[in-house]
Amino acid sequence: MQEKHGMHCFVSGRVQGVWFRASTQDKAKELGITGWAKNLADGRVEVLAFGEKDQLLTLHAWLKVGPELAEVTEVVLEEVPYQEHERFGVK
């Protein structure tokens, strides 16, 4: 079993009102990642995700594109210590 890691991302662009959080949740579940995604007042989406390194790299690459209607301009990533979460939720 691989070591678990965490990543904290802020996604900028047209990422609210385009099913970004729900699509991120679907992708995270598909990859076996736990954590959450939420809208921020400044128009960004914040994502906190936990899983194996390759799973997180795949999610990070997906966040750079997002769902069909999104227009991602930037993804800021910070590695964070692993935290146990039961599932991936939307806040």
Instruction: Give 13's strand partners.
Output: 72
Active site residue 44: no
Question: In this structure, how many other beta carbons lie within 10 angstroms of the beta carbon of residue 68?
Answer: 8
**HSE-up of residue 4 (Cα within 13 Å, Cβ side):** 12
Q: Which of 14, 39, 44, 87 is catalytic?
A: 39
First-last CA distance in the chain: 29
Active site residue 21: yes
Instruction: Give 36's strand partners.
Output: 48, 89
Q: Which of 14, 21, 44, 87 is catalytic?
A: 21
Known catalytic residues? 21, 39
